[in-house]
Structure formats: structure tokens, C-alpha cells
Amino acid sequence: MTETPLAPNPYDRACPTREVLDRIGDKWTVLIIGALSEGPRRFNDVARRIDGISQKMLTQTLRSLERDGLVKRTQYLEIPPRVEYELTSLGESLRTPLRALELWAEAHIAEILDARATAGSPRP
């Protein structure tokens, strides 16, 4: 007799969907997916595109994205060696929702900054 798996529940800390949401919600993941949505890029191209990311964090995030099937790493047997990163079809499927979040942030940044400024002032 086969057990029916429980429905995904990201509010349950043991559910694997929470780990996926943590990965997708990471700021570096969002920016790397955005950079790679423009097409395949070499490591240094990605690093130049994302201001403030360290080499270590870029390496770790790219490895995690590759492990999760969102990014494909292609190593070319050339001299000097060349490696490119690109979105897989699964990674491509994230472009639309992440772009929507980016557009939302751009549209509402003034309101958010105003709210922060107001929150810093004494309450009546």
C-alpha cells in the first residue's frame, strides 16, 4: 500500500517548499535570475552586473541555483577555459513573477521611503 504524500505547506518548517521559497526569496537569487534573464553570461559578467555581490556569495548562489535546477553551468574545453551560466526552463519560469516583484518595488519605493521616514518620527 502506497502512502499519499501530504500537500505542500510552506508554513510547516519541515516542508521542502519552505526551502524553495527561501532560495527564491534570497536577494542574490533574485538579482542573479534577473541578470541571467538577459541571456547566458560568464561569471565575471554576472559579478559586474550585480553591484555589491562578493565572489564568494556569487559562487555559492550559482551553485545552489544549479543544484536546484534553475541555472545551467556550461564549461567549454578551450584555452583559456570558459564557463557560462544560463537559466534552465525552470529558471526561465521564475522570470515573470520575479519581474513583477521588481516592477512593484520600483512603483512603490517612494511610498516605502515615506513610511520609513514617518516610522522614524515620534508617534502622536
Report CA-CA distances (Å) from 87 to 4, 23, 47, 82: 32, 15, 16, 17
Does the residue 89 lie in any domain? Answer: yes
Does the residue 8 lie in any domain? Answer: no
The reported pLDDT for the residue numbered 8 is 84
Does the residue 7 lie in any domain? Answer: no
CATH number of the structural domain spanning residue 65 = 1.10.10.10
Does the residue 66 lie in any domain? Answer: yes
Does the residue 5 lie in any domain? Answer: no
Task: Phi first, then psi: give them for residue 42, nearest 5 degrees.
Answer: -80, 160
C-alpha R_g of the chain: 19
The reported pLDDT for the residue numbered 15 is 87
The reported pLDDT for the residue numbered 119 is 83
Does the residue 97 lie in any domain? Answer: yes
Segments forming the whole domain that contains residue 26: 16-120
Does the residue 55 lie in any domain? Answer: yes
Query: What is the count of structural domains for the chain?
Result: 1
Does the residue 11 lie in any domain? Answer: no
The stretches in the chain having pLDDT less than 50 are 1, 4, 124
Contact 9, 15 (CB under 8 A): yes
